[in-house]
Amino acid sequence: MIEEDRRLAREVAELRRVNEVLRAASAYFAAKIDPTRPGEGHEFH
């Protein structure tokens, strides 16, 4: 049971990192498609 909890904790951490990357990529490409969107993509310059 403890090993399963550790495995799940690692999986959750990895999924959170992946989600953050996807969120950043989404904002980046949204800004490329529509550069007039306020507040989008400024951190990528």
Q: How far apart are CA 25 and CA 8, in angstroms?
A: 25
Q: How far apart are CA 29 and CA 33, in angstroms?
A: 6
Two structure tokens written together for 28 = 């980046």
Whether this model's pTM surpasses 0.95 = no
Over residues 1-44, the pLDDT tens digits come to 999 999 999 999 999 999 999 999 999 999 999 888 665 555 55
Residue with tokens 């049971």: 1
Q: How far apart are CA 5 and CA 39, in angstroms?
A: 39
pLDDT of the residue at 35: 81
Q: How far apart are CA 40 and CA 19, in angstroms?
A: 17
Where residue 45 falls among pLDDT bands split at 50, 70, 90? very low
